[in-house]
A and B are shown apart, each in its own frame.
Chain A
Amino acid sequence: MSAPFSPPSGKTGPHAAPSRDVHARPGGAVHAPPRTAKVLIALLRKELLVELRTLESIPGMSLFAVTTFVVFHFALNQDTVSGQEAAGILWVSLLFAAMLGINRLFVADADQGGFDGFLLAPVDHTALLIAKALALLAYLLVLELIAVPAFGLLLLGPPLGQALPGLLAPLALGDIGVAAIGTLIAALAVRTRARDLLGPLLALPLLVPIVIGCARASAPLFSATRPAGPPLRWLGTLALYDLVFGLIAYAVFDFLLED
C-alpha cells in the first residue's frame, strides 16, 4: 500500500503533522487531517473545561500568592513596602504561585491517557504546546487579577493606581516567558516519577532572569518618591528572553512528547 500522506510543508520527520490530503479505506470514511486552528480551539476548550470542573490550579495559585503577601507583611514587620523591595516581593510571589500551575499543567494528560489520545491523531504537535501555553497564560492572568490588587491592598505603599498602567508591560512580558518556559518544563517533568520535584528544580533557574527583568522593570513604578515608567532596557531584555525560549520550546516540544 502506498502512503496516502505526502510530507508536510512545514516541520518534517516523524513528529510532523500529515498534509491535508485525505485518506480512506474501501467502504470507510474519508477524513482530511484537521486544521491546526481547529485542533488548537479543541485543546484549549478541553483545558479550560477540565480546570473549571476540577479547580486544581487557579484557586491554589491565587491563594498561595495572597498568603505569601500576608507572610511578607509579618516577616518584614512593615506595614508597607515600595521601590525595588516591593517589586521583588510581587514577582517572587507570582513566580512561586505560577509554579503550582506549571506543575499541574500536564497531569491530567499524563494520568488519563491524554498524551496517547493526542499522539494517535493526525495533528501538528505544536498545537498542544500553544494550547498549553495559552491555558497557562489564562491562569496567570486570573492569578494577577487577584494577586496584584491584593498586593496593593496588603503591602504596597504608593497607590497601585499610579503604577498599574506601567505595570501592564512587565506583567505581559513576564507572563509570556513563564508560559513558554513553564509549558516546556512541565512537559519534560510530567513523565518522570519525581515530577513534583523535577518541575521546580528545572524551571526556577530558567525563570530567575524573568523575575529579575520584571522586578527591575517594575521597581520605578513602585517608587514612593518619584514614580517613573518601566525602563525600556529591561522590557527589551524580557522580550528577547521570551522570544528565545518560545523558539526553543517550539523546536524541542515534539521530542518531549515522543517515546
Chain B
Amino acid sequence: MVELHELTRNYGERAALDDVTLTLHAGQTLVVFGPNGAGKTTLLRVLATLLRPHSGTVTVLGAQFPDDAWQVRGRIGLLGHEPLLYRELTARENLRYHASLHNVEEERVEQQLAAVSMTGRAEEPVRTLSRGMVQRVAVARATLHDPELLLLDEPYANLDPAAIELVEPLIGRESGCTRVVSSHDPSRGLAESDLVLGLRAGRVALLANATSVSTNAVAELYR
C-alpha cells in the first residue's frame, strides 16, 4: 500500500526528510510523531503527490512517485493544516466544487454535511464559521470521494470531544481506510496505530509496531 525506501526530500540545503524507509500494509494505520519541523507534514505532502521526492523510491497504492503519481489522484484524501476550502464560498458550495472535481454525486455532499453535523450551517460562508466547524467541513471534504488512503495531519486539532466523536467514523479506524496520521498526542496516537514512526530533524528516530512502543518512548522524541 505504502512503501518508502530511502526517501529524501530537501528544502534548499536542509533535508526535511532524510533516508526514510518503511512499509505500511492496506488497512493499517501509521502514526507519525515528532517535534515541530521534524518532517511530518513534508512526509504527508510527499505521499499526497504534492511534493516530489528528491531521492529514494515512493510507492503508494501501486504507483511509483513521481512518474506515476497521476494514477493515484482521486484515491487519496488529505486533511492538512489548511482546510483546502475557499473562505468566501459556503460549506455546501465548497463540497459541491470538490464533488465535481472527483466526479462524486451531489447526494454525497448532503450525506457528508449530515455526517459532520453541518447541514444547518451549510449555506454560510466558510469565513464565518468557527475553527472547529471549518475542520469538520474539511473532514467532509477530505473523505467526500471515499479515498483508499487517508493522510491526516493532526486531524483532531480545533475539535471538541463531541466533534471528535462525530468525525471518527469518517477518519478514524472504523473508516476502514489505510491511514497515515501525524500526531502530538502519544496516548491517542498509540491507541489508534499499527505502526509508529518517530521523526527527528527528518530522520527516522523510531519505527516499530505500536504494541512495542510506550508513551515514554514517544515523549523522548520531543526532548
- Chain A residues near B (Cβ < 8 Å): 1-5, 13-18, 23, 25, 27-29, 31-34, 38-39, 41-42, 45-46, 49-50, 53-54, 108, 112-114, 116-123, 258-259
Contacts and interface: CB of A to CB of B under 8 A. Distances in A.
Interface of B: 1, 26, 48-52, 61-63, 66-71, 73-76, 78, 80, 82-89, 93, 96-98, 100-104, 108, 125, 141, 145-146, 148, 176
A34 B102 contact: yes
The B interface is mostly helix, strand or loop, or mixed, namely loop
5 contacts: A13-B67, A32-B103, A34-B101, A54-B88, A114-B84
Given A3-B68, A14-B70, 4 more contacts: A5-B70, A112-B84, A117-B141, A121-B73
Given A27-B176, A119-B49, A259-B51, A46 B67 contact: no
Contacts of B96: 42
Secondary structure at chain A's binding surface: helix, strand, loop or mixed?
loop
A29 B146 contact: yes
B74 A31 contact: yes
Given A14-B67, A42-B97, A122 B74 contact: yes
Contact of A34 (B49, B69, B87, B100): B100
B93 A49 contact: yes
B78 A116 contact: yes
A27 B147 CA distance: 11
Contact of B1 (A1, A4, A38): A1
Contacts of B62: 1-3
Contact of A28 (B66, B108, B148): B148
A255 B76 CA distance: 21
A2 B59 CA distance: 12
A152 to B, nearest CB: 34
B102 A122 contact: yes
B101 A121 contact: yes
A49 B94 CA distance: 11
Contact of A49 (B50, B84, B89, B104): B89
